[in-house]
Amino acid sequence: MTEKAEVRLNLTKATVLLLQNNQAELDILGQVFIGFGVKAIRKCLTLNEAEDCISAGYVFDLIIVDCDMAAGAGFDFVMRLRRMEDNENRLTPIMLVSGHTAPSSITRARDCGANFVVAKPITPKTMLDRVMWLARETRQFVVTDTYCGPDRRHKTFGPPAGTKGRRRDDVSAKLGKADGPDMSQSDIDALLNPKRAAL
Amino acid sequence: MKSGNTFKYENRLAKSVVTKGGMTASEALSAAQDAVEQIRDPTIAEIDASLQEIYAVGDQLKAAGVYDEAGLQKIYVCANRVVAMGGVFGLGELGQAAYSLCELVSRFQTLERFHGQMVQVHLDGLRLLRNPGDHLAAIREQVLAGLRQLATSVV
């Protein structure tokens, strides 16, 4: 039997954009990514600095945006970026970091097009978990009139009951006729509780 | 209703998860923790500066005794900074108390209401939890539970 290789993280060639509206928080995030081995970190305190980086042609592998910027500027930044069809950063994984979130901001955070939201405080452990999660991200990208970003559904449960669904790969919840013999109970048990084969 | 466009795309970050080279999760965590420790002192100073601003504005608001949107927003911003930084350097309970203050202020702002005593209790809680080692864990937990109950009672 071959041993499964341990998963390792190599961020030495990754480029990361950090947008935080407070120097101390920006420094914490920067130190975390330095610890992870990232060499190319762009630290931005203002929206203008971040937009300059994006428009200057830098291509990022990960973008971290503060939710707590005045008037929800962080959400607007993400929304604009997701709509920039000619910019490679449009598809870059984006993580929002949020302290206390006012009720009015919760739906904006969900709908702006970020991959997901992480609650502050951002400790190295929290960030590492989320970076690994983002690196394994396989959700499709969705573009509609009202939303642009990764699919907000993490699991596919099919279209809502009573609707046909709008996607080509949406499968009807209605069951059709069986196209083969029923499985035996032992087959079902084996499927739900697989046992290692005795060799 | 217009149908949307859905497509697969290359996740560039996926290249960073490897089986050879780089560092293990525990090595990455250890290195990041060491890097963060380098800025412990300035960050603690920043937390204390934010707390001082909260105390000062809180006292002003209590003295005035009326709803003051700008003053409340200052408290909210400073408390949110404490939420962000406290837990990184072992002041997680202080961060939770600051979160409760944010919740309280947010509710005041939504309802355009103000209650000085509720703010005062939070300021006292922050002072107490700034030095967690001086108090028993059970007392700290009771304080936090009380603050959360107080903040969520504003409806």
Tokens at B99, concatenated: 């979160």
Inter-chain contact A7–B32, Cβ cutoff 8 Å?
Answer: no
The total of other beta-carbon atoms located within 10 Å of residue B134's CB is: 10
| Residues pairing with A118 in the sheet | A97
Give the chain B residue whose CA is nearest to the CA of A94.
B13
Give the chain A residue whose CA is nearest to the CA of B92.
A121
Q: How far is A107 from chain B (nearest CA, A)?
A: 16
The CATH number of A15-150 is 3.40.50.2300
Inter-chain contact A7–B19, Cβ cutoff 8 Å?
Answer: yes
Inter-chain contact A24–B103, Cβ cutoff 8 Å?
Answer: no
H-helix or E-strand spanning residue B126: helix B116-130
Q: Which residues, 6 or more positions from A87, have their beta carbon under 8 angstroms from its beta carbon? A: A54, A55, A81
The total of other beta-carbon atoms located within 10 Å of residue B3's CB is: 9
Q: Could you read off the pLDDT of A84-126 as tens digits, one per residue?
A: 999 999 999 999 999 998 777 888 888 999 998 999 999 999 9
Are A118 and A131 contacting, i.e. CB atoms less than 8 angstroms apart?
no
B93-to-A70, A95, A124, B84, B97 alpha-carbon distances in Å:
26, 25, 18, 12, 6
User: How far is it, in rounded angstroms, from Cα A50 to Cα A40?
Assistant: 14
Tokens at A126, concatenated: 């929290």
Q: Could you read off the pLDDT of A145-190 as tens digits, one per residue?
A: 999 999 888 766 666 666 777 666 666 666 777 778 888 888 777 7
- The pLDDT value recorded for residue A199 is 47
Residue type, B72: L
User: How far is it, in rounded angstroms, from Cα A5 to Cα A69?
Assistant: 41
Choose the CATH number for B40-152 among 1.20.120, 1.20.1510, 3.30.420, 3.40.630. Answer: 1.20.120
- The pLDDT value recorded for residue A193 is 67
> Looking at the partner chain, which of B34, B35, B84 has a beta carbon nearest the beta carbon of A99?
B84
User: How far is it, in rounded angstroms, from Cα B57 to Cα B124?
Assistant: 14
Inter-chain contact B88–A137, Cβ cutoff 8 Å?
Answer: no
CB proximity A65 to B under 8 Å: no
Inter-chain contact B14–A136, Cβ cutoff 8 Å?
Answer: yes
Q: Could you read off the pLDDT of B34-81 as tens digits, one per residue?
A: 999 999 999 999 999 999 999 999 999 988 888 899 999 999 999 999
Helix (H) and strand (E) counts for chain B? 6, 2
**pLDDT at A61 exceeding the cut of 70:** yes
Give the chain A residue whose CA is nearest to the CA of B76.
A100
**pLDDT at A78 exceeding the cut of 90:** yes
> For residues A166 and B4, which has the higher predicted lDDT (pLDDT)?
B4
Inter-chain contact A35–B7, Cβ cutoff 8 Å?
Answer: no
- Hey, which residues 38-57 in chain A have their CB within 8 Å of chain B? none
- Range from B5-9, B54-58, B151-155 that averages highest in pLDDT: B54-58
Pick from B2, B10, B17 the residue to mutate for testing the A interface (most A CBs within 10 Å). Answer: B17
Inter-chain contact B11–A31, Cβ cutoff 8 Å?
Answer: no
Q: Could you read off the pLDDT of A179-195 as tens digits, one per residue?
A: 788 888 887 777 776 65
Q: Could you read off the pLDDT of B96-143 as tens digits, one per residue?
A: 999 999 999 999 999 999 999 999 999 999 999 999 999 999 999 999
Measure the N-to-C terminal CA separation of chain A; round to a whole number of Å.
12
Residues from chain A that touch B73, judged by Cβ atoms under 8 A, are none
Mapping DSSP to helix (H, G, I), strand (E, B) and coil, where does residue B72 land? helix
Provide the residue ranges of all domains of chain B, joining segments of one domain with +.
40-152
Residue with tokens 């998860």: B17
Inter-chain contact B15–A13, Cβ cutoff 8 Å?
Answer: yes
Are B100 and B122 contacting, i.e. CB atoms less than 8 angstroms apart?
yes
Are A15 and A54 contacting, i.e. CB atoms less than 8 angstroms apart?
no
State how far Cα A127 lies from the chain centre: 13
Inter-chain contact A128–B28, Cβ cutoff 8 Å?
Answer: yes
Provide the residue ranges of all domains of chain A, joining segments of one domain with +.
15-150
State how far Cα B29 lies from the chain centre: 22
Residue type, B35: A
pTM: 0.83
CB proximity A106 to B under 8 Å: no
A149-to-A22, A84, A109, B70 alpha-carbon distances in Å:
26, 11, 12, 35
Are B107 and B155 contacting, i.e. CB atoms less than 8 angstroms apart?
yes
State how far Cα A20 lies from the chain centre: 18
Helix crossing, B137-152 with B116-130: angle to 10°? Answer: 160
Please choose, from the candidates A99, A155, A62, A19, the residue with its C-alpha nearest in 3D space to the C-alpha of residue B85: A99
